[in-house]
Structure 1
């Protein structure tokens, strides 16, 4: 099927192949890798972790990697059985019922709307001021972030192939650049004697008493807060599943893309954390900086090389936001295809000339700009953004894993990836990790995050009530899974 015959006016809910199936395994890996983006997560959250947990907080990272890897493996088992665009929305709709599926889709949309802002705000607030030597303010951070969001939405709406090429190139640069950066930091640190092993086990100015405590009803212990670093960074690997309908052999390719991204990022990210923390100097002073990672890199490697590597980080973060925008547009399109997203009449359309869901992408752009306007003048905008963008995927992951446990015996047989005899231990690890992660969000510092979730849930509830009044529960029934698979497994679309 050529682009000229893409289903521009196909009825919503009618699962015909309308997106070209031309994504390669590396492209899927690049999507998962680009969304997770260790550069983005660590540059965003490192300062907060220094303040709440001290340098010792970085040792939570390996635990997060193991937990998120278990979640990625469960998601891989689902993607091999339900290879349909919309990931958690589609999976929960079939594992439980369309009502819960819609709720999960809306939460996923809410997550994507805030995380793209958190990612792009990182460029404006923690990197560009050091790179160009100006004083960062809330006003210029807002303007720069708004421009970055606009550029990403324009690229995603104009060409999926161009978006893929930009992301593939950015991920390649990030892989080579982050490995090179880690090697350089260790080499210079050891050669000059700047690397201090003791800093890795320092608590900074965080009191020793109660450091490893579980906390109270409205507070998490200091070390527990350190888990936010990995929990914010290692999310979004499931974005590969959101492009299942554009991938050849998704039952094999999508699961591999997800768990390989988590493993690769987990290893490189931990080495990077050890390098920058060992070179942090005075962690107490560094915790007060708005640009701690950039300060370390430039201080150790010098102005010229430090700035060159910061350019690499900007490219990585831009790529991350690009993938989030791409994933969000596909989710909006998938829900609109089923007539379940506000304004679906416009958002389920595929552009004849571009072969992209342009209207859905514009919606992602509008949501991003709205969220940015709400958070832009918060006194701690970056923390509010990244904590909300950590809470939401935790809810999505926990709900999806719970339903998989209940319904896994009733799923259709896999045509690709399978957990096999490892299913039970993987599920145990995933559940223990997700329960622990969600408990951290009882801390009072996450009040703004819960407020954002509450407002978005309220907006969704109003629209969902309208759907129920208009269609009733029976009108929300999803198409039969097997019939969808038969259509989507038809002859692959060619460009």
Structure 2
């Protein structure tokens, strides 16, 4: 894998070959691009939200699925980085599929990506209301207050996104800095203080906890998965969203070079820091039975080892990091809706493709996403195990998108335009084959009956999309006509009808 040194193109030149004009400000610089990926992944959000679930499904031993998940997702991230270097345009997989296969397949993948971004934003923000804030402010979470608080958080994020991409990026940069420093410092403190106080438990690193050792590594049946394999949900939920930088490529300076680097670096750094943090949590864990029964086992471990003050500081960092993660997922959703709308391929595209002249953001697309997120929140909020269902759906959908994208890469490999910032070189075939194997394995885990509701959400949302897809086929088939890709500037694509 290597970087290719070529002169950066201006925004207008870069987008001209795809038939687009530069409408959004290129305010996102190198660190901000990385921060978008790292914040969407957010190991703090993922581990804080799912560690308790892993204790109950796979026990402490389940954390050792993490490095496998990280390696698998890193392989996928490398494929996405290679595509982003060739086609740095908003819409990522939707755009790549449309141009390298055909717009019909691209539209279907775009719709699946849209349903993922809506539900993952809700799942992240719901974690603040159901886990982080109750632990920080010492109140009892109920379905009603979780719903109301999450709804309020979504509104705050919507206003920030509408106001300015630059300010949301700045806020996210701060969140990433505090998250990295906070997790690293916390990990060191847990290990040092635990060692001094004699509170470390090396045997917990490989403990089954409350899970029976019998059949622990069983591959399962057609509708059931063994405890160890269910633990892959930890990495499957956390190490996603690295493609967010690709969706903001039209707002990124020197996107051909910056975006690919941001994608794979965010996955690698998140994987390393997350693994060390998980080891520290297992070592510092006390009564495993009590932790498994707790709604906030990570906070309990921190408080028991380091005291209430440090525990509260950690919870503040957690809350801030989760908020930033949700905000990045939200803004990614708005850019996808806008990208599909300017191609006339999204419902109400005439309104949703507009960029507000005052904020220089896709205002109506942002408002629509906010409304749909509130609806999805209302659907999930009063379900039993609402958080589990939300983050299960948020793990299932990206696996489908990633698998489709990797398959597309293989099928359309000869059609790929020349790389302008990053390529896989001699490692290309090993990377894409291993990524494919990993994604097939990951999706096989979701055959477990416990994922019935996430599958139901996926099927319902896909069915809604199919209705509009069929409408397009009959009412405006030209919109889904074949588009080609060329290294030379051309306008053989569907022309966006840009409105201020």
Pick the TM interval, shorter chain: over 0.9
Aligned equivalent of 1:297, options 293, 302, 306: 302
| Contact 2:58-2:227 at 8 Å conserved across structures | yes
SS in structure 2 of the partner of residue 341 of structure 1: coil
SS in structure 1 of the partner of residue 240 of structure 2: coil
How many angstroms apart in 2 are the aligned matches of 1:68 and 1:484? Answer: 32
Structure 1 stretches of 5 or more lacking a match? Answer: 1-5, 8-12, 488-495
| Contact 1:158-1:358 at 8 Å conserved across structures | no
Partner of 2:355: 350
User: Which range is displaced more, 279-288 or 142-151?
Assistant: 279-288
CA deviation vs aligned residue, 1:190-217 (integer Å, no higher than 9, x gap): 1111110101101112111111111000
Is 1:114 equivalent to 2:119 in the alignment?
yes
CA deviation vs aligned residue, 1:460-488 (integer Å, no higher than 9, x gap): 0111111111112x43136543389679x
Partner of 1:99: 104
CA deviation vs aligned residue, 1:156-208 (integer Å, no higher than 9, x gap): 01111111111111111111111111111111111111110101101112111
How many angstroms apart in 1 are the aligned matches of 2:367 and 2:486? Answer: 32
Partner of 1:62: 67
Is 1:334 equivalent to 2:345 in the alignment?
no
Aligned equivalent of 1:16, options 16, 21, 42: 21
How many angstroms apart in 1 are the aligned matches of 2:138 and 2:26? Answer: 45
Partner of 1:492: none
Q: List structure 1 segments (4+ residues) > 6 angstroms apart after TM superposition.
A: none
SS in structure 1 of the partner of residue 243 of structure 2: helix
| Contact 1:126-1:294 at 8 Å conserved across structures | no
Question: So what's the TM-score if we normalise by structure 2?
Answer: 0.93
Alpha-carbon shift at residue 428 of structure 1 (Å):
2.1
Partner of 1:457: 462
Partner of 2:495: none
Is 1:127 equivalent to 2:132 in the alignment?
yes
CA deviation vs aligned residue, 1:394-422 (integer Å, no higher than 9, x gap): 00000000110111122111111000001
Alpha-carbon shift at residue 332 of structure 1 (Å):
0.4
Partner of 1:183: 188
CA deviation vs aligned residue, 1:21-74 (integer Å, no higher than 9, x gap): 231110100000010000110111111111110000000000001000000000
Aligned equivalent of 1:172, options 173, 177, 180: 177
Partner of 1:481: 485
* Aligned CA distance change for structure 1 residues 208 and 38 (closer, same or farther; 3 Å): same
Give 1:299-338 correspondences, 5 Å limit: 299-338=304-343
Partner of 1:283: 288
Partner of 1:394: 399
Alpha-carbon shift at residue 431 of structure 1 (Å):
1.1
Partner of 2:242: 237
Aligned equivalent of 1:225, options 218, 222, 230: 230
How many angstroms apart in 2 are the aligned matches of 1:394 and 1:17? Answer: 31
CA deviation vs aligned residue, 1:442-472 (integer Å, no higher than 9, x gap): 0000000000001101110111111111112
How many angstroms apart in 2 are the aligned matches of 1:470 and 1:370? Answer: 28
How many angstroms apart in 2 are the aligned matches of 1:308 and 1:447? Answer: 37
SS in structure 2 of the partner of residue 237 of structure 1: coil
| Contact 2:89-2:249 at 8 Å conserved across structures | yes
Partner of 2:273: 268
SS in structure 1 of the partner of residue 317 of structure 2: helix
| Contact 1:297-1:306 at 8 Å conserved across structures | yes
How many angstroms apart in 1 are the aligned matches of 2:202 and 2:487? Answer: 58
How many angstroms apart in 2 are the aligned matches of 1:485 and 1:278? Answer: 57
CA deviation vs aligned residue, 1:355-374 (integer Å, no higher than 9, x gap): 00011111111111111000
User: Which range is displaced more, 199-208 or 331-340?
Assistant: 199-208
How many angstroms apart in 1 are the aligned matches of 2:488 and 2:377? Answer: 37
* Aligned CA distance change for structure 1 residues 485 and 454 (closer, same or farther; 3 Å): farther
Alpha-carbon shift at residue 95 of structure 1 (Å):
2.1
SS in structure 2 of the partner of residue 482 of structure 1: coil
How many angstroms apart in 1 are the aligned matches of 2:286 and 2:434? Answer: 36
| Contact 2:193-2:305 at 8 Å conserved across structures | yes
How many angstroms apart in 2 are the aligned matches of 1:448 and 1:485? Answer: 46
| Contact 2:418-2:487 at 8 Å conserved across structures | no
* Aligned CA distance change for structure 1 residues 479 and 21 (closer, same or farther; 3 Å): farther
Alpha-carbon shift at residue 432 of structure 1 (Å):
1.4
How many angstroms apart in 2 are the aligned matches of 1:177 and 1:297? Answer: 12
How many angstroms apart in 1 are the aligned matches of 2:19 and 2:365? Answer: 17
| Contact 1:153-1:362 at 8 Å conserved across structures | yes
How many angstroms apart in 1 are the aligned matches of 2:202 and 2:304? Answer: 18
Alpha-carbon shift at residue 284 of structure 1 (Å):
2.3
* Aligned CA distance change for structure 1 residues 60 and 485 (closer, same or farther; 3 Å): farther
